[in-house]
Amino acid sequence: MENELINHQEPNELKPATETLLVLNIQTNQVEMVKGVDKEGNLQKVPPQEKKDNDPLIRVDKHGDIFSNFFSNFYRQLKNPTHFNFFKVSEYDAVNTANDLQKYVDQASPEEKEKLKDYEVLPQHNNNPKNQNTMDNNTDNQEYRFQPEQIDWKTMEKFGLNQEKLEKMNAMDALLRGFKTNTLIPITINLGTAVSKMDVRLSLQTGDTGQVAVHLHGIRKEPSLNNKFLGHQFTDEDKKNLKETGNMGRVVDLVNPKTDEIIPSVISRDRLTNELVAYRAEYMKIPDEIKGIRLDEHQKQTLLEGGPLYLEGMTSKKGELFNATVQFNADKRYVEFLFNNNQNQQQSQYHHNQQQAQPTAQEVPKVFRGKELDDSQYEKFKAGQTVYIDGLTDAKGKAYQGYITFNKETSKTDFSFNHSNKLKEEAKPTEDHKTQTAVNTQGKTNEATKNVKEPLESKQQQPASQQQEDQQKKVRKPRGPKL
């Protein structure tokens, strides 16, 4: 194991200046020194007052990339990593530093304890909390988990791949960060007597012996939802969510088949391959802000529970306002946007497109011309039904009403003063409304009211008062020639 290699200590005369880890147990407020992680994922530690000269502490390389890769692997081995805060310190002065830190924690206020986060080390080199508080930094700040020389290139060659090809396909970055490739990769498997070609997603995973193995994620016709997945039996609602949005929408207990450990997790469907993917709930990172919208604690909790969250008034990179549903995706390992046409795009991309799903259509709007639809109206509107809406106001401040329908082909809202299913003889009010809108908003002229100065009321086509009648009948006398 990697820990055993790092725990090995050299003779004192050759011992270089090294660093070790201190741990603060969030639940007990106790500061201790880290020895390692046992096979069950329990943290091995020793109190500073009980530290003996021959007690082996975990030793880490102080160089940035090497430390980041080590700590990420170390963190993943822990059974309850979120119960602890870790700090990298000099091994030479570790005991004194641990004692000083304990004194600080014992007397510190909650606000002062928060300042410790500036010194805490986190997996994937996200040491600065500012690097992970918005959705725009989902993967940009993550350190590489693997190095190119760790890849089994002989195996890659059997698939018709090499480093140059993967770099040209922009696949190397995701692989080295420990993710699946963002796109489907065409491979060829030559068995001598038969040659097979297929599209797969690739990933790198560390085996039990520490060797880095190449994993192929082939395309499935459909996800396996009728069988148990890591001990979980899918409900009808689970199946519906996974098929429609790609995310199951809740946290469930899964069973590790090797250790029988029960792990609360979220589940998503790989939209390119239909493979089911689980992700530990304790590893979920929820941003503080999404496209200009600051999340409150209730909204964060909704996302932490795996549920969808509808947000309005977000700002795109082009500076345009938009609305969308967001949700944590176990396959991508971050909060994603869910747009209305996500499902249709996914179906076409399983077999025909090698680009990762990038939906661009706008979410069905809940507000039309300043009027917000109630829940009942919005459900019908999203379903493509025609909805009656009143309380609209034209440019002159006069109220009007009509019918709206969402056009899924153009992603736009169609408006009509008259329901399309009404009889033609009932369409007379439509002309009234058209007159009002044409005069008040579009600046056009109605012969019967062209001299009326006030804005027309709803359905008005004739002068509505004696004053308007006088205005309409008033005829200007032609002016004489200038002298």
Classify the phi-psi angles of 333: left when phi > 0, otherwise alpha if psi is within -120 to 50, otherwise beta.
Answer: left
> Angle at the Cα of 285 (from 175 to 358), degrees rounded to 5?
55
What separation in angstroms does the CA of 124 have from each of 65, 70, 133, 287, 314?
Answer: 10, 9, 15, 16, 28
| Alpha-carbon torsion, ordered 141, 143, 149, 152, to 10 deg | -90
For residue 462, give every residue at least 6 positions away whose Cβ sits within 8 Å of its Cβ, in sequence order, or none: 448, 449
User: Using CA atoms, how far apart are residues 176 and 172, in angstroms rounded to an integer?
Assistant: 6
DSSP states of 197-244: EEEEEEEEEE-TTS-EEEEEEE--SS---SS-BTTBPPPHHHHHHHHH
- Give the percent of the chain with pLDDT over 90: 26
Residue environment code for 241-253, b if the CB has 16+ CB neighbours within 10 A, otherwise e: bbeebbbbbebbe
Contact of 242 with 267, CB cutoff 8 Å: yes
Q: What is the pLDDT of residue 356?
A: 36
Least-confidence region, from 1-10, 65-74, 388-397? 1-10
Q: What is the pLDDT of residue 371?
A: 80
What separation in angstroms does the CA of 141 have from each of 124, 271, 364?
Answer: 8, 24, 33
Q: What is the pLDDT of residue 134?
A: 53
User: Using CA atoms, how far apart are residues 193 and 199, in angstroms rounded to an integer?
Assistant: 20
CB atoms within 10 A of CB 465: 10
User: Of all helices (H) and strands (E), which one includes residue 63?
Assistant: none
pLDDT digits (tens, 9 = 90+) for 397-414: 677 788 888 877 767 788
Band (pLDDT 50/70/90 cuts) for residue 138 is very low
Check residue 178 and report its DSSP letter: T
Band (pLDDT 50/70/90 cuts) for residue 226 is very high
Closest CA to 283 of 122, 472, 57: 122
Terminal C-alpha separation, the chain? 108
User: Using CA atoms, how far apart are residues 67 and 59, in angstroms rounded to an integer?
Assistant: 10
Q: pTM score, two decimals?
A: 0.46
Band (pLDDT 50/70/90 cuts) for residue 374 is confident
pLDDT greater at residue 95 or residue 75: 95
For residue 482, is pLDDT > 50? Answer: no
Closest CA to 186 of 173, 203, 169: 169
Tell me how many helices (H) and strands (E) the chain has: 13, 20
Band (pLDDT 50/70/90 cuts) for residue 127 is very low
User: Using CA atoms, how far apart are residues 94 and 280, in angstroms rounded to an integer?
Assistant: 32
